[in-house]
Structure 1
Amino acid sequence: MSALPNSIQARDVRYLLHPVTNARRHEETGPIVIESGDGIYVTDSDGRQYIEAMAGLWSVGVGFGEKRLADAAHRQMLKLPFYHSFSSKSNEPAILLAEKLVEISHERLQRVFFTNSGSEANDTVVKMIWYLNNARGKPQKKTFLSRLGAYHGITIASGSLTGLPTNHRDFDLPAIPVKHLTCPHYWRQGREGESEADFVDRLAQELEDVIAEAGADTIAAFIGEPLMGAGGVMPPPEGYWVRVQEICRRHDILIVADEVINGFGRLGTMFASDYYGIDPDVMVVSKQITSSYQPLAAILFSDEIYQGIADNTAKIGTFGHGFTASAHPVACAVGLENLAIIEENGLVANAKASGEVLQRELARFRSHPLVGEVRGVGLIAAVELVADKATKARFDPVGKAGAPLFGFGHEHGVIVRAIGDQIAFCPPMIIRPDEVVEMVARFERALTDTAAHLAA
């Protein structure tokens, strides 16, 4: 950090509290201030350029510096910079974006509600389903099923759905009725001698047992990321989602697909629900809906759910929920243009093609002494570092390898994400195969430095 008392880094330390950050350590190191971005690259205030291997925060699908999105925002700001969607008000970009989302998503998803973030969206899903079940005369049907290792946001409700200890500790979460099931990560959670099919059977039986114990009439919904992201990029085992859906349908439990990270092409299909054969009752999208150029999220849900909610608004007089910026016209205009870029530039197909290169290049590290597992689908992947390859033993403390690798990555011009000792990759969907090779080469240099650091 610059020693100048009035440097931008010093002013950051003086005024800002950062998310997912050790505040006392940040006071000592200060921030890396990102000043600009272009394509897959970002540049800091000292002029250093990095490949942004995380697309910012799993989100900048069309890359940085996309003029079409800036122009779309500018046009809408001049025309109508803001209007609310309360009390039967609307705006054209929100209407057109809702129509587009229904067009490209699953046939049963016919209705849309806009929020500003995935956290707000999942919080809203909880309230919507509670509201619906009260209207259905089933006030006891309130419990949500989630999974350990899941990430669904950080509000009180969505943070409760999240299955990560650091998002619960000292926040008094979970604070809503939620039951967390086993994380569907076969490599880490499978038992000795247990096949992948046996693992799926065990998780299916666990789901059946939890429903039987709680009573199906108390369980409202099962929420899950099709491919778990922020918990460490964990693709589910084959057949997992088929079993989950069959059990939930049989017990009148709604399926909520959290596609906040997965959606709009990341796995090489428009939605990860397409990839895994999920037919959700509710789907939540954010991040790549605008490539995070504007805050926006959307809840897509079935007409059956809508009709139940709508009937209750007629009965009690209103749907008493919403945000000042719900269906914000500038955000929706950017979202429309962003989806047009994804379609016109073939970014879903590019994610599939460049994703094959990413998975192939990372697979080379499976024999590395620090690497326990390499996993992923399309343009999302993780390399898990372990203290002992034979036993899969984790580092003690967690992060002993991941934290230095994160730092060495910056030295070699690549920004990855260290989730403990799991190194995540989620580059912009515009990335070319040759750029993937260069990104992984920079990671390899950081991995070499990490091995030397641990051996010292």
Structure 2
Amino acid sequence: MSHAAELDAYWMPFTANRQFKQAPRLIAKAAGMHFWTPEGREILDGIAGLWCVNAGHARPRIVQAIQAQAAELDFAPPFNMGHPLAFTLADRLAQIAPAGLDRVFFTNSGSESVETALKMALAYHRLRGEGQRTRLIGRECGYHGVNFGGISVGGMVANRKMFGSLLAGVDHIRHTHDPERNAYSRGQPAHGAELAEDLERLIALHDASTIAAVIVEPVAGSTGVLIPPLGYLQRLREICNRHGILLIFDEVISGFGRTGAPFAAQRFGVTPDLMTVAKGLTNGCVPMGAVLASRALHDTFMTGPEHAIEFFHGYTYSGHPLACAAALGTLDTYAEEGLLTRGAALEPVWTEALHSLRGLPHVIDIRTIGLVAGIELAPRPGEPTRRAFDAFMDCWQQGVLVRTTGDTIALSPPLIIEERHIAQLVEAIGTALRRLA
């Protein structure tokens, strides 16, 4: 694109549009660990596209599966009809999911998965004769997509403040970020399990009989890679069990090998009642999400006349044939290359490399688990987020793509990353940090 006017029509998501269009950062090709610009400059992908290209770019099995499916069955109506791949994929997902989460509802994104899970939770209680359980509990510093339910239970102020009062009957437990006690943690922080007790505070305020569900990210990605303290998720599970509250894990970012296990629920040994996934489900190739539900929750809906719809919810593109083909090709690639657990093997190398940045200018915390990391920088006085953005731009010029959220540099590379790529990534970030004002 050579003319600025060619950029005008596209209103870009989560982007400083005016800044971008003055100096566009365009990507024209991708393969393996890399992107290429239209001019042919190679860019190391340090963020798996957007937390989603877990198997690396342009993987043959996935590409071929999409191409073949487009020629065979381009679309099948998902309401009152089905196609074989959707059933095959649901079964494959159930096989790698945490034990007990073996019923799968397909969506098109993480945002839609969250909306679906919240509706399932509300409907489940009503079907059980507890229709007064309408309150939803999120967490400060949580990100659950951008639809109204997701931003209501989410806890990122910039995502909420422009859009009115949002959903009624939503409250939030406090976040777990505690740099005074947990700075430079490797893996799960030692301190903070007691923060789960904040749910008891909301139960005392609202009464448990009014609360339908609690939704949290096992690892909060978009707010700077916030890792749960040891024992925190277990305690949250215990409180929910005690009070009949459903626990929802949002694993849109943490799923499909990111933490060194297929899902973070397995890494941490805590099974929710509902789990949302997307991103790595299709390796980012075709939009798709899903909600994994416990059999007990699913079976609660399977009542009434057999010809009647049990759950009045769904999408035109639920279980789309191309998305299913991409997902099956992705799961095959994960299985053949051991990618869903590769992060555990590489975690020591990743951890040492990232924590070597400790002591560089402006670094105030580094957080790592699996193949994900957050490098928190001291904000520039009067210019929050600018210091991290400048580091992002410096890395881009060096041929490395990172992501920033607030004043944190967030990393989540493809799971095929090699030690030489880790070294290149860390070197670029270190160079950028030394040059920052």
TM-score (structure 1 length as normaliser)? 0.90
Aligned counterpart, 1:32: 25
Distance 1:96 1:16, change over 3 A: same
Alpha carbons 1:414, 1:442 under 8 Å: kept: yes
Aligned counterpart, 2:47: 54
1:178-189 residue pairs with structure 2 within 5 A? Answer: 178-187=170-179
Quote the offset at 1:81 in angstroms: 1.0
Quote the offset at 1:317 in angstroms: 4.6
Taking the aligned partners of 1:190 and 1:436, their CA distance within structure 2 comes to 24
Quote the offset at 1:313 in angstroms: 7.4
Taking the aligned partners of 2:432 and 2:104, their CA distance within structure 1 comes to 43
Aligned counterpart, 1:401: 387
Q: Deviations over 1:173-214 (max 9, x none)?
A: 5324221111112226889xxxx776322x233211111210
1:80 maps to a residue whose letter is L
Alpha carbons 1:358, 1:437 under 8 Å: kept: no
Quote the offset at 1:62 in angstroms: 1.0
Quote the offset at 1:162 in angstroms: 1.4
Alpha carbons 2:196, 2:233 under 8 Å: kept: no
2:425 counterpart of 1:439: yes
Distance 1:395 1:69, change over 3 A: farther
Distance 1:173 1:439, change over 3 A: farther
Fraction of identical pairs, as percent:
35
1:422 maps to a residue whose letter is T
Instruction: Give the stretch that moved more between structures: 115-124 or 352-361.
Output: 352-361
Instruction: Please state whether the residue corresponding to 2:427 is helix, strand or coil.
Output: helix
Taking the aligned partners of 2:114 and 2:47, their CA distance within structure 1 comes to 22
2:339 counterpart of 1:332: no
Instruction: Please state whether the residue corresponding to 1:311 is helix, strand or coil.
Output: coil
2:68 counterpart of 1:75: yes
Alpha carbons 1:148, 1:181 under 8 Å: kept: yes
Taking the aligned partners of 2:432 and 2:397, their CA distance within structure 1 comes to 8
2:1 counterpart of 1:11: no
Aligned counterpart, 1:357: 349
Quote the offset at 1:400 in angstroms: 2.7
Quote the offset at 1:159 in angstroms: 1.8
Alpha carbons 2:149, 2:167 under 8 Å: kept: yes
Q: Deviations over 1:248-281 (max 9, x none)?
A: 1000011111111111111111111111111111
1:315-394 residue pairs with structure 2 within 5 A? Answer: 317-387=309-379
Q: Please, which runs of 5 or more residues in structure 2 have no aligned partner?
A: 184-188
Quote the offset at 1:30 in angstroms: 4.6
Alpha carbons 1:62, 1:341 under 8 Å: kept: yes
Taking the aligned partners of 1:338 and 1:93, their CA distance within structure 2 comes to 13
Taking the aligned partners of 2:404 and 2:305, their CA distance within structure 1 comes to 45
Aligned residues: 432
2:30 counterpart of 1:44: no
2:270 counterpart of 1:283: no
1:163 maps to a residue whose letter is G
2:60 counterpart of 1:64: no
Quote the offset at 1:71 in angstroms: 0.5
Distance 1:332 1:106, change over 3 A: same
Distance 1:350 1:10, change over 3 A: farther
Q: Please, which runs of 5 or more residues in structure 1 have no aligned partner?
A: 388-393
Alpha carbons 2:27, 2:36 under 8 Å: kept: yes
Give 1:248's match in structure 2, choosing from 217, 221, 240: 240
Quote the offset at 1:354 in angstroms: 2.7
1:82 maps to a residue whose letter is F
Q: Deviations over 1:4-46 (max 9, x none)?
A: 43xxx5412x11111112333344x253121000111101122
Instruction: Please state whether the residue corresponding to 1:226 is helix, strand or coil.
Output: coil
Aligned counterpart, 2:215: 223
1:288-303 residue pairs with structure 2 within 5 A? Answer: 288-303=280-295
Alpha carbons 1:159, 1:173 under 8 Å: kept: no
Taking the aligned partners of 1:412 and 1:173, their CA distance within structure 2 comes to 43
2:398 counterpart of 1:412: yes
Quote the offset at 1:437 in angstroms: 1.0
Alpha carbons 2:104, 2:293 under 8 Å: kept: yes
Distance 1:175 1:395, change over 3 A: farther
1:113-192 residue pairs with structure 2 within 5 A? Answer: 113-187=105-179
Quote the offset at 1:318 in angstroms: 4.5
TM-score (structure 2 length as normaliser)? 0.94
Aligned counterpart, 1:211: 203
Instruction: Please state whether the residue corresponding to 1:234 is helix, strand or coil.
Output: coil
Distance 1:42 1:312, change over 3 A: farther
List structure 1 segments (4+ residues) > 6 angstroms apart after TM superposition: none
Aligned counterpart, 1:237: 229
Cα-Cα RMSD: 2.0
